[in-house]
Chain A
C-alpha cells in the first residue's frame, strides 16, 4: 500500500472511527476522547 497516498486518510479515518464510538461508551473521559479524535480532522481542515 502506498502510505504516502493513504497514510493520512487512514489515520484520519481511524481517529474519526474512534471518536464516533468513544462517546457512545460513556460520558466524561470517553466523551473527551471523542471530541479530540473527531476534532482532529476538523482542525486539519481549518489548517
Chain B
C-alpha cells in the first residue's frame, strides 16, 4: 500500500524543499497541499479542499498524517485544528501551536514543568485605548509603573508573539519605557497587552535546542545545540550579524529541554526548537577581546555563507545550491577561530548549566540552512518520523 504524508504550506522556503528532499531519501511520498488560496469547505455530509482549478480532497484523504508548515501563525493554528477535526494526525498538534503562538503561554508551561525561566511580566492592557466617544486614553505611564514594579533596572520589551528579533527592545530608563509604549500598537498577533522580561546577561551567546518525540517513545533532545553568538546586539539572531556554532549540551540541559517539550506536546508526537539563554554574569572572563578577535576573523567565512544563502537560484536548482551551502559551512567550521569560539561556549555552558533559562518554543522552526548544518539535526527526518509514529499508532 502506498503511504503518503501531506505537507501544508503557503510558500516553499528552503526548509520545505529540504523536507521534500529528505522524504524522497527516506522513501516516503510527500504530497503538497497548498494552504492559502484554497477553499476549505465543511458540511455535514462532506469535506472539501480545493484551489481554483485543482481538487486536493483526495490527496488529503489518502495521507496518513500531515506536516503543518504554514508560515503564518494564524494559518498554522487553523490548519492544525482542521486536520485534527478531520481525524488526521498532524505535526504539530493544535495544542502545541496554541502554546507556541505566545511567549507567555509557553513560559507558563515551562514554569509548570519546573524549568528555569526568565522573570516575565504581562500587562493585559494596551498603551492607548479609546472611549465610547472615541476619545483616546493613555495608559503608558500606568503600564510603565506596573512593569517597573516587577522588573528592576534594564528590561526587554518584546511582542508576546513574534520572531526574528522584530520589535524586541532593551529599555534602561522610565522615559525610554514610556516612549516605547507610546510607539507600541496592537497587531493581529498581539491584539492585547504588553510583555516584558528581565534582561539576562548571556555574555555573547544563546541556544537553539531541538527536541522531539515520536508516539510511543520517550522525548529526545538532540545532543548538539545551535549557539548564536556575537557582540553586535543583545539580540543574538543572525539577521543582526551574529554567527552560529554547534555545541554539545550538558546532560542537565538535555533533561530540561525534554521536560519543556513534554510540557508543551504531552504524550503524543511533536517537534520543537527551544530557545534558551544562559545567565552568565560572573562566570565570564574579564577580558573577552580574544573572542571578539576570533569572531572578526570568522566574518569573511560567514559572509561567504550568507552570500550563498542569498542566491535567488536556490529554489530553481535546490540540489546545487544546497551543495554550495554545505561547502560554505564546511569551510567556516574547519577554521581555527571557529573551533576556539565553539570550545569557549562549550566550556562556559558547562560552568553555567544550572543557570540556563528556557524562554521560547518554536513549532515550525527554520532548520535547513543553519541548525541542520551546525548540529547535524535534520529536523525534516524527525518530523517525518513523528508523523509516521502517529499514523502507525492509528
Q: Do A and B come from one complex?
A: no
| Residue ranges of B at the interface with A (Cβ–Cβ < 8 Å) | none
